Amino acid sequence: MPKKDLQQMIDAISNFNITGVLNGCIAYGNGHINDTFLVICYDEAGKEHKYILQAMNQYVFKEPEKVMANIERVTAFLRTQTDNPREVMSLIRTKDNQAFFKDQFGSYWRMYDFITDAICLERPDCTEDFYQCAVAFGKFQRYLNDFPAESLYEIIPDFHNTPKRFEHFSQAVKQDAFERAKDVQEEIAFLTARQNFYPILTDSFKRGVLPLRVSHNDTKSNNVMLDASTRKALCVIDLDTIMPGFSVTDFGDAIRFGASTADEDEQDLSKVRLNLDMFRMYTKGFLDGCSGMLGNDEIMLLPEGAKMMTIECGMRFLTDYLEGDIYFKTAYATHNLVRCRTQLKLVQEMEEHWDEMKSIVKQYCR
């Protein structure tokens, strides 16, 4: 994605209905996808007003209008489910009342109110914080229980369709456009050996065991805000990938990221372990947030959701490595490979602790 220059940013900001005069705009956060900026303005009384400005990633989001249409509908619905405005992301509309601004270069911009007095955790380091992230994502499922999931646009087709992801991965191995496959034979063998696992969730859906729900699809802990003073669950953010999907993949993606003892790009694999206490607390928090909404079949598939999201993410990182790092932002040449390896190590850990994971979730069946 081409870098945005300052003037382009200032022009974009001037199209939104913000309060005050622009004082500063700085790169913000650690997302892998969009270009995110913190915008600071001051009004005549000297009061500060903060906003989040994002240039949408148009390689990832081919139809930004559809992304914004989903976000508008879902945030409006969420607002009917809670009295606390701080629980829902607030889009700032443009001066001509649109949810986004398309500039003369074809870039799409959008703005949100900055959520003040809140924190978001790159990686939760205690079970209580992780519990709160789980409550936020569980509540998100509950609030959207009556929203017609199938009426949402499928923003990235087959986003968590792991068999399709494996097909794409196999093509990337075959094409080997950057002659990198020779260096990753072990990882290719690992992913190939687990082929029978990949259709488990899509088959459960086809058999009617797994219901279609509104899912967030990117439930990392840095996509949820906690209240800075109480550290209680506040607001789910990063709404780009809201689509029809499964509750168990929302659960799983959070486990993949937050129940690991190391960062997603840790180079020392001996540090990458599955923290079962974190798994236990996230399970409790997610089901507390869902408040009885999930059926026993769904609950029993939560461990599969965790393993599926982890192996799928490893596969996606390796696919991107083989294709020349075109999807995820990277900071160095082997960044995607390093990320892939942490995910595969975590899959191994889950396989070793499979019976414990299953028995933890079983306690919540009715």
- Residues interacting with ligand ADP, by CB under 6 A? 28-29, 31-34, 36, 52, 89, 112, 114-115, 120, 222-223, 237-238, 240
317: enclosing H helix or E strand: helix 302-322
- Is 94 in contact with 110 (CB distance < 8 Å)? no
- Closest residue to ligand ADP in the complex (CB): 31
Partner interacting with residue 250 (select from Mg ion, ligand GN1, ligand ADP, none; CB below 5-8 Å by kind): none
Long-range Cβ contact pairs of 37-43 (< 8 A, separation 24 or more): 37/9, 38/114, 39/13, 39/111, 39/114, 43/19
- Closest residue to ligand GN1 in the complex (CB): 32
Does residue 305 touch ligand GN1 according to CB under 6 A? no
Among 70, 127, 223, 310, binds ligand GN1 (CB under 6 A): 223
Q: How far is the CB of 218 from ligand ADP (least distance, A)?
A: 7
Gap between the Cα atoms of 350 and 345, Å rounded:
9
Distance, first Cα to last Cα, the chain: 49
- Coil, strand or helix at 340: helix
Among 12, 33, 91, 235, binds ligand GN1 (CB under 6 A): 33
Partner interacting with residue 305 (select from Mg ion, ligand ADP, ligand GN1, none; CB below 5-8 Å by kind): none
Partner interacting with residue 120 (select from ligand ADP, Mg ion, ligand GN1, none; CB below 5-8 Å by kind): ligand ADP
Q: Which is nearer to ligand ADP, 153 or 205 (CB)?
A: 153
Partner interacting with residue 140 (select from ligand ADP, Mg ion, ligand GN1, none; CB below 5-8 Å by kind): none
Are β-strands 48-55 and 108-113 bridged in parallel, bridged antiparallel, or unpaired? antiparallel
Partner interacting with residue 114 (select from ligand ADP, Mg ion, ligand GN1, none; CB below 5-8 Å by kind): ligand ADP
Residue 244 corresponds to which amino acid?
P
- Is 260 in contact with 274 (CB distance < 8 Å)? yes
